[in-house]
């Protein structure tokens, strides 16, 4: 058998090749390196796709760490051009969106701030700029839709209340939960966060849209305005 460490993947036995292994046994049977090698498709002179994948994973550690890497950090890898980087980033984004789509399609019922956090944290926690999301709920507190309504700089996002309410009305939402990330990982709300939350609640009352919560996402931590207000328990009170 050819030495896998120095030979191209085409010289491997069919059952050991990542693509053929995936088709025969399913994606779950592949290692992280093998999955990444399929996205890379080819290596470079003297380096197979799977060896290149191993080098990438050795540097970044996890797919999560890879998701928001600056483009300059990719340049040290010989044979990793713009097309391959684009394939990797697209696959990572599909993985993040899958979680939101899966929950939304299933119309999960929301009973606590943590229910929302579990859905949106994987998407928001690693971003380098602020993104403001709105979760629309029906009268039974089941998810109708989740969308981004504003993107900001590294320091702030400027969500527009009118656009949030308009989106909620378009979706025929009975209530909404808003969330945004703090790239600094400091989950404590700013003065602007508090003022915005009050203004949004008041606007919602005028338009018949109940604002159940505003959640701030950090690095595996979160702050809930509703939890803070209740001072007891860990979730949203559904009336």
Find the largest Cα–Cα distance for the chain. Answer: 73
Long-range contacts of the stretch 19-27 (C-beta < 8 A, 24+): none
Helix 82-105 crosses helix 32-40 at what angle (to 10 degrees)?
120
User: Topology of 107-230 in CATH?
Assistant: Cytidine Deaminase; domain 2 (3.40.140)
Inter-residue contact 187 to 222 (CB < 8 Å): yes
Tokens representing 196 are 């915005």
pLDDT digits (tens, 9 = 90+) for 176-220: 999 999 998 899 999 999 999 999 999 999 999 999 999 999 988
pLDDT digits (tens, 9 = 90+) for 69-84: 777 777 778 878 888 8
pLDDT digits (tens, 9 = 90+) for 17-38: 888 888 888 888 888 888 888 8
Q: How far apart are CA 24 and CA 57, in angstroms?
A: 24
pTM: 0.62
Query: Would you list the domain boundaries of the chain?
Result: 9-97, 107-230
Local structure of 55: helix, strand or coil:
helix
């Amino acid at each position: 058998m050819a030495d896998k460490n120095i030979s191209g993947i085409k010289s491997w036995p069919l059952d050991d090749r990542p693509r053929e292994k995936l088709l025969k046994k399913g994606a779950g049977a592949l290692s992280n390196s093998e999955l990444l090698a399929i996205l890379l498709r080819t290596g470079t002179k003297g380096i197979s796709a799977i060896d290149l994948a191993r080098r990438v994973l050795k540097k970044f550690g996890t797919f999560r760490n890879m998701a928001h890497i600056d483009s300059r950090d990719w340049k040290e890898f010989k044979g990793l051009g713009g097309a391959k980087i684009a394939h990797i980033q697209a696959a990572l984004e599909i993985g993040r969106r899958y979680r939101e789509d899966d929950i939304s399609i299933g119309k999960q019922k929301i009973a606590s701030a943590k229910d929302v956090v579990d859905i949106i944290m994987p998407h928001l926690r690693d971003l380098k700029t602020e993104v403001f999301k709105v979760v629309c709920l029906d009268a039974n507190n089941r998810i109708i839709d989740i969308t981004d309504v504003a993107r900001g700089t590294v320091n702030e996002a400027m969500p527009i209340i009118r656009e949030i309410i308009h989106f909620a009305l378009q979706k025929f939402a009975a209530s909404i939960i808003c969330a945004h990330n703090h790239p600094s990982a400091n989950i404590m709300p700013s003065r602007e966060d508090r003022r915005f939350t009050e203004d949004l609640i008041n606007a919602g009352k005028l338009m018949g849209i109940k604002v159940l919560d505003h959640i701030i996402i950090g690095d595996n931590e979160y702050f809930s305005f509703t939890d803070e207000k209740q001072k007891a328990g860990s979730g949203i009170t559904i009336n």
